[in-house]
Structure formats: structure tokens, C-alpha cells
Amino acid sequence: MVTDAPPPEDGTAARPARPTTQSFAQVQESAEFGELRRTYRSFAFPLTVAFIAWYLLYVLLSNYAGGFMGTRLFGNINVALVLGLGQFLTTFLIAWFYSRHAAEKLDPKAEAIKARMESGTEADA
């Protein structure tokens, strides 16, 4: 149980309560945790599938559509280079988008669950 008591005299800080195995199981079965898991999955799975499809398209085009990938767009810049750089751009955009999603939707829910577990209160949401 976390208290507002002053820190111990040996200089160590007071630690949060350690949740039991039973409390982890209760939280895992709670509706609140289920909602957190659903929120994560509804974001992560579709983006993962879309990115893998986009990556495989690039690989397949590179292997089987050499003429198309070698098409010059301007100067020495061809379709393969533009699509390859698009892979990097897509990766960074997904990471940025996930960071925003996690900060807005996942982190508050996870913090609420964590705080309740560390405080020692067993509330089923």
C-alpha cells in the first residue's frame, strides 16, 4: 500500500505496493483491460497488415516487374528508388502515428490500471 509517509531514514524511497499473481489475473480478466487490449489491437493489426502488404508489393515489383521499377521519372531517379524511399517514409509515419495513438488512447488506460494495482485497491471496471 502506498502511503504519504516520509521516506525511510536510510535514503531509500517508498515503493508502490507489489501486486499479487491473483491481482494480475483479476486485472487481465477485467473489462477495462479488455478494452485496452481491443484499443491496441484495432490500431496495430490493420496497420501491420497494410505495411506488410505494401512491403511485399515492393519486393514483388522488384523481382517480377524490373522494367516498371527501372522506369526513369526524372534524371537518375526511377520508380524503384521512389518506392524504396517510400518504405522509409511509411515506417516513420507509422511510428509517429502509433506514438500519438498510444499517448492519447492507450497510456491513460494503462496508467489507470497500473495506479490501481500499485495502490492495492482491487476494483473491477
Full DSSP string of 26-63: HHHHSHHHHHHHHHHHHHHHHHHHHHHHHHHHHHHHHH
Q: Out of 10-14, 49-53, 89-93, 103-107, which region has the weakest mean confidence (pLDDT)? A: 10-14
What pLDDT was estimated at residue 5? 52
The contacts of residue 110 (CB under 8 Å, 6+ apart) are 36
Q: Out of 35-39, 84-88, 89-93, 120-124, which region has the weakest mean confidence (pLDDT)? A: 120-124
- Domain tally, the chain: 1
CA 104 to each of CA 20, 63, 92, 98: distance values in angstroms, whole numbers, following the listed order? 29, 40, 18, 10
* Domain boundaries, position 55: 29-117
**What does the alpha-carbon distance between residue 53 and residue 93 come to, in Å, rounded to a whole number?**
16
Q: Is the residue at 7 inside a domain?
A: no
Cell 480478466, located at residue:
29
What pLDDT was estimated at residue 122? 55
Q: Is the residue at 14 inside a domain?
A: no
Q: Is the residue at 42 inside a domain?
A: yes
